């Protein structure tokens, strides 16, 4: 019983805060921080509430870097199903070395945007490395042709691939 009460308080809070933000800003992003450790059904209800109250972007985060790619992809796919016209983005940390794999899995599951950092800078293990996600390699293109087509990789990668990239990344999707 207490859980249901807590969930309703949380959902009411999402409605109020997203609605208030929408009243002063035309582009509201709502983030499900650490969503991978929550009950997926609750995350889905929270997403529906955020979208119903005006969120234009829904961010699914693995802020502790503990998800496995297949689990993260399943969560993102469920969010994409419920997000309507809202953009779904992913934000992954690299505590266990899975940020790039989880980001690519999220893109393949339907996310249209990935939040990343140059050289993977960020707290603890860092965030998803922009270079690793934007690398112009066939695995990235097959994960999300739309996302790969919109990347301007010339501005983030050297003109010639480094030896690390010439071997090609491991296929994670």
Question: Is 170 within the bounds of a domain?
Answer: no
The more confidently predicted of residues 119 and 169 is 119
Question: Is 35 within the bounds of a domain?
Answer: yes
87-105 mean pLDDT:
92
Structural domain count of the chain: 1
Query: Model-level pTM?
Result: 0.77
Interaxial angle between packed helices 69-82 and 40-52, expressed in degrees from 0 to 180 and rounded to the nearest 10: 40
Residue bearing tokens 């003109």: 159
Q: Which range marks the domain in which residue 58 is found?
A: 21-159
Report residue 118 CA to chain centroid gap: 16
Question: Is 169 within the bounds of a domain?
Answer: no
- Domain with 52 in it: what CATH number? 3.20.20.70
Q: Percentage of the chain with pLDDT > 70?
A: 72
């Amino acid at each position: 019983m207490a859980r249901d009460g807590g969930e309703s308080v949380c959902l009411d809070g999402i409605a109020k805060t997203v609605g208030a933000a929408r009243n002063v800003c035309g582009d509201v992003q709502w983030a499900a921080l650490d969503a991978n450790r929550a009950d997926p059904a609750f995350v889905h209800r929270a997403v529906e509430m955020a979208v119903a109250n005006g969120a234009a972007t829904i961010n699914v985060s693995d802020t502790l870097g503990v998800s496995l790619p297949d689990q993260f992809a399943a969560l993102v796919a469920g969010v994409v199903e419920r997000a309507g016209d809202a953009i779904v983005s992913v934000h992954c940390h690299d505590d266990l070395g899975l940020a790039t794999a989880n980001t690519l899995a999220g893109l393949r599951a339907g996310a249209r945007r990935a939040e990343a950092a140059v050289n993977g800078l960020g707290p603890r293990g860092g965030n998803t490395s922009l270079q690793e996600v934007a690398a112009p390699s066939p695995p990235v293109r097959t994960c999300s042709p739309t996302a790969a087509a919109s990347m301007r990789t010339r501005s983030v990668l050297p003109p010639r691939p480094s030896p690390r990239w010439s071997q090609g990344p491991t296929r994670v999707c």
